[in-house]
Amino acid sequence: MSSHGTTPHHAAQRDAGLSGAGTNLDPWYDLYADRTAGLSASEVRALFAVASRPEVVSLAGGMPFVSALPSELIAGAFERMMRDVGPQALQYGSGQGVPALREHILEIMALEGIRASVDDVVVTTGSQHALELVTKLFINPGDVVLAEGPSYVTAMVVFNSFQADIQHVPMDEHGLIPEALREAITRLRAAGKAIKFLYTVPTFSNPAGVTLSWERRLEILEICRSNGILVLEDNPYGLIYFDSPPPQAMRSVEEDGVIYLGTFSKTLAPGFRVGWALAPHAIREKLILANEAAVLSPSSFSQLMITEYLNTADWKEQINTFRGIYRDRRDAMLGALAEYLPQLSWTVPNGGFYVWATLPSHLDSKAMLPRAVKELVAYTPGTAFYADGNGRNNIRLSFCYPTPDFIREGIRRLSTVINGEIDLLNTFSQTTPLATIPLKQGIVSPPPNID
């Protein structure tokens, strides 16, 4: 971690547990921008490198199960693309994205109740890049981003990289709590803070696996509208539901106050890096300019591959296939948790990729991770999903990538670790104080392959 800043904001970041290793070796140490202090290497990155060994069951990453995608569908899209629009696929495109793809994106969003103009869609390099561009457009150093607690880790990395002040709003099993949002706005405004937007994954949230209820969607939109706060609705998982469709998107209700982010990473494949933003008119113009500055244009090759896939494949049926696969895996995980780890509590997702589990309160999930990896199972510690050091006794368990058998085996191994920890604590708790954790912990940056 390097920094040359001397502002209080900056110093606070540096004190927040971020590593200072290596700064003396960097001859360019004095040249970095202040914001670069917000970019930190993950404290668990080295462990995740170990965890990618094949003998480890990884419940840590967010990799979709792309092997379920028939390769002949991809090959067919490629052949038609090269035959019909080959030179266009190899060339620069527009900063807004391929018009035919944007038309398809309207069809996809209509499945969640969204009506929009093709002019207001901006194709991006994954929805991650839309997060980056929106943050670049709106965040001055010190501005507040309201974010669910817990929140998607790499969104927080982006917010930090633009020196945002991330303020969490608590959630429960029905998602963000409206009353808590009101209180946070009042408190932060009283402290003179500029609140720019509310960042939320309302449907099958990452990492909590919960879904914001319809009534709360309306209430939260009203709170944000009346307070002049934008809603950044990030919806990568909405179409990956298991039991019944989730409530319609927040953007289906409110056109002017919501920037909606979508992606092909979960319904098709992340390797193309194609996502999009649907934004109010004036903001969309600025997004296009920011997109052009950042990448000139999103990949024509990727965009036209997806366009041809959507033109000809039964993509809705393919999404159904993904639903079935991930439903089986969720069921395997919930079953294994009930069998092996009944002393934990966890969320029951109706879609998406993740279960959020709560350990007995004296366990520290980050400290426990090396022991888990030694037992050949990996997860993501809860602190990764908070900007304020919370989440110490939470873990995120991903069921998207391993098969049901591996998920069961992973949870079995995890139970060994957790039960061992509990035994250890019981043995020592009457003679030795529990290990204490610094209250403020820096955000850990993402393990690879989390979206």
CB of 366 to a second copy, least distance (A): 20
Distance CA 105, CA 110 (A): 8
x/- mask, a second copy, residues 58-87, rule CB under 8 A, reads: -----xx-xx-x-x--xx--xx--x---xx
Residues in region 380-419 near a second copy by CB under 8 A: none
Q: Interface with a second copy includes 11 (CB under 8 A)?
A: no
CB of 238 to a second copy, least distance (A): 19
Residues making up the chain, counted from first to last: 451
Residues 15-44 that bind a second copy (CB under 8 A): 22, 25-36, 39-41
Task: Cite the DSSP H helix spans in 296-397.
Answer: 300-312, 315-340, 365-374
Q: Would you say 285 or 331 has its CB closer to a second copy?
A: 285
Among positions 51, 123, 145, 157, the unique one binding a second copy when judged by CB under 8 A? 157
Residue 161 sits in the site that holds a second copy (CB under 8 A): yes
- Is the peptide bond preceding residue 170 cis, with omega within 30 degrees of 0? no
Burial of residue 355 (CB within 10 Å: 0-12, 13-18, 19+) is: buried
Q: Least CB distance from residue 441 to a second copy, whole Å?
A: 18
Q: Which of 13, 5, 9 is nearest to 29 (CA)?
A: 5
Q: Report the site for a second copy in 117-136 (rule: CB under 8 A).
A: 125-126, 128-129, 132, 136
| Amino acid occupying residue 287 | L
Binding residues for a second copy restricted to 341-380, rule: CB under 8 A: none
Taking the complex as a whole, the smallest distance from the CB of residue 109 to a second copy amounts, in Å, to 21
**Residue number, 253 or 425, with CB nearest to a second copy:** 253
Which residue among 9, 80, 174, 286 contacts a second copy (CB under 8 A)?
286
- At which residue do the structure tokens 């971020």 appear? 18
Could you tell me the smallest distance in angstroms from the CB atom of residue 74 to a second copy?
Answer: 7
Angstrom distance (rounded) from CA 414 to CA 346? 14
What 8-state DSSP symbol labels residue 25?
G
- Return the exposure string of 365-403: e unless at least 16 CB atoms fall within 10 Å of the residue's CB, then b: bbebbeebbebebbbbbbbbbbbebbbbbbbbbbbbbbe
**Would you count residue 294 as binding a second copy (CB under 8 A)?**
yes
What gap in Å lies between CA 60 and CA 37, rounded to an integer? Answer: 26
**How far apart are the C-alpha atoms of 271 and 253, rounded to whole Å?**
32
Q: Which of 58, 299, 394, 441 binds a second copy (CB under 8 A)?
A: 299
Using the rule CB under 8 A, is 228 a contact of a second copy? yes
- Which of 180/294 has CB closer to a second copy? 294
- CB closer to a second copy, 40 vs 252: 40
Using DSSP, state whether 72 is helix, strand or coil: helix
Can residue 439 be called a binding residue for a second copy (CB under 8 A)? no
Q: Does 272 bind a second copy (CB under 8 A)?
A: yes
| Nearby residues of 75 by Cβ (< 8 Å), 6 or more positions away | none
- Whichever of 243 and 292 has its CB closer to a second copy, that residue is 292
